Amino acid sequence: MPRSTYGWSAEHDAWTAFGHDNRGNLATQFGRNLGSRLLPIAAKLGKPLSDWTAADVFRAMPEADSSLPLQPNFAIPNVAGSLLCTAPEYARFLALVTERPTRATWELTEPRRREMLTPQVEVKAGTLSWGLGWGLERTERDSLYWHWGDNGAFKAFTIADPVARRGIVVFTNGSGGQKVYERIIRAAIGRDLPAFLWV
């Protein structure tokens, strides 16, 4: 996943999509704006943003934007909300969690992969639960793993069947993106997902 990162760099400005509000106007570009303000600070410190720790981020935040609270959800990098990734790269990541007879030494071990897809917290009895990092949906037909993203004008949803080794990744750059990904996934798999009611 060579283009995927939680930090911002100058090259991201060229290939990262702009988000749009529900009227099609450019929305506030939080990650782009803050990332661009952090880059000169990173250059001054001689440490690329991609190598920063949380402590580095919180030291630089007041200089980058003094109006933002010093909380993780307003920081970049931020593993809960600053992932920059292409759909094909995320699909490769999604595929690594599917069942396969052999795994490369750098991949998750099979016991760890199974543990990620084992219910840890029940959301809706017998249907929805949380594994380790993944939403889990169990139906009479299949057991799926999923995740979603909601960063204002950017909405995403991904779902996969670990046994059938099929998955879908939908990234949108509009505040109405949830309606878009729901329609795409419904058309692809032929049904609505209980996860859509929960997200």
Q: Where are the beta strands (DSSP E) in the chain?
A: 121-124, 128-130, 135-138, 143-151, 154-161, 166-172
Q: What is the pLDDT of residues 25-46, one digit of tens each?
A: 999 888 889 999 999 999 999 9
| Residue 79: pLDDT over 90 | no
Cα 28 from Cα 152, distance rounded (Å): 8
Residue 33, Cβ density class (10 Å: 0-12 exposed, 13-18 middle, ≥19 buried)? middle
| Residue 173: pLDDT over 90 | yes
Cα 99 from Cα 11, distance rounded (Å): 35
Domain boundaries along the sequence of the chain: 12-74, 87-198
What integer best gives the mean pLDDT of the chain? Answer: 91
Cα 76 from Cα 38, distance rounded (Å): 8
pLDDT-based confidence at residue 161 (cuts at 50, 70, 90): very high
pTM for the model stands at: 0.88
Give residue 163's pLDDT. 92
Residue 67, Cβ density class (10 Å: 0-12 exposed, 13-18 middle, ≥19 buried)? exposed
Give residue 91's pLDDT. 95
pLDDT-based confidence at residue 4 (cuts at 50, 70, 90): confident
